A and B are shown apart, each in its own frame.
Chain A
Amino acid sequence: MLLRRFLSCSVFLFVGAAFAQGPVVLYTSLAPTESGPLGVAFEKKTGIKVEIWRAISEKVVQRAVAESRAGRATVDVVETNGPEMEMMARENIFREIRSPHLADIPASSIPKHRQWIPDRLNFFVVAYNTTKVRKEDLPSSYRGFADPKWRGRIGIEATDTEWMATLVKLWGDDGMQYFRTLSAMKPDMRKGHVLLAQLVASGEVPVALSAYQSNAESLKRKGAPIDWLPMAPVVARTQGIAIAKNAAHPKEAAAFVDFVLSPEGQALFDSMGRTPVSTKVATSIGRFDYTVVDPVTVLDEQDKWEKIWQGLFLK
């Protein structure tokens, strides 16, 4: 009798302990090939499990916002593209982040409200098919592609409005003129950065102007005839991480965010071919200057740039 009571008591304690320890529910657009190992590493370190729900960035927003409005506490941590993180921040579904590792992150890239923190970068680079184009034939800057000899050989991803917007802001009126020239050359418009990189590798699109560095790199590592190079001015997009306002496991969520922003987590990103933001971690893709797309501008000037982009490239 006593034994039984003791047993049931310990079971209760055990269950209680399990409840106290997570799991962290993560909504992310990071591929499971990377988010999976990230979760495993975190669990190994802290003993807290990570449950991952993975979707494209818009779905992450839709689901997180809808659940928050309905008062459900399902998600603990959200990790996706900068502009989408900013959308959710505006919907008031995050809480401010305090982490010892914030100091390692370039201050200019951290939103003032600190509702979310950038955790990795994605670069727009020029990717080319190594059997169709020689590296020495490529121009040294984007302006070189205005040369008529590139007509019929260049491709752009069909939704890269923010890339254009950032370049035009850097170059001023000149920039607008450049894109008009580009538009007259009728570049190959392709939907999806993954598809674009694949088509470069297959030779369908000899040169892509707005490929994602990570996509080109992973194909290159598999041995596909593709290479990439950062072309000045390099535009970068940030991806961010945040803790849900009504997270069911706020402590574990904070621990997870800390882990991701820590040199350890950032190094893990680098080893998986993603670019870390932390200044404490040296990236393996080499050093170059880059300009970060401002998520706030992306949201506020969306309509204006969308209209220009449509008029230039999607008619």
Chain B
Amino acid sequence: MPAIVSLSNVAKDYPLGKTVVRALRGVSLAIEKGEFVAIAGPSGSGKTTLLNLIGCVDVPSSGEVTIDGRSTSALHDRELTNLRLHSLGFIFQTFNLVAVLNLYQNVEFPLLLKGHHTAAERKKKVEAMIDKVGLTPQIGQRPNELSGGQRQRVAIARALVTEPKIVLADEPTANLDSVTGQNIIDLMKALNDTLTTTFIFSTHDQRVISHARRVIRLVDGVVEDGAAQARGAGG
């Protein structure tokens, strides 16, 4: 199966005053369609940087990132934005819902950006996705009226409503209690199974890592063992 995400000798440097912080140092990896991958590692190991590069919200200092067959180095801002809109979904550590929109409108927002759907189609898709994450009773509520777990479910629904090929989740359970975190991981796994969407999430929580079907460990900006590790625990 062809890789939906591939990184080839990718490095990312951040200038910090007169010094340069090397967040990633020559990372190469490939992720296939439908995988449920955890990027693990201690704080400062480069997990979020790696996710940013895969999510096309940042560009590498060197090396090549290929998403769904397209190298991101040559793309302009408009094309990168389109790539994010059509191929990627994001789940943020802090949920990042638009505070002034209600649950339904938050989920509907990416569909409006895509603009391919009629109002009826959008309604059908949004309601179906909200149903999948189990928030139909809260459909008209604002983010500040929801619990942390419910907000993350909204974020998952928003990430998946456009049916992206890849969903990126940055520490999706970091701001949730263990039970809620477990529920969120279960939900992501279930959606991964049913929708065959590729899930890539960063975490340093061992309980979450144990659910991943594959774990990529980062230490000081380098993939441990030089290659992606497979773990059979989850599947």
**Do they bind each other?**
no
Q: Which residues of A contact B (CB under 8 A)?
A: none
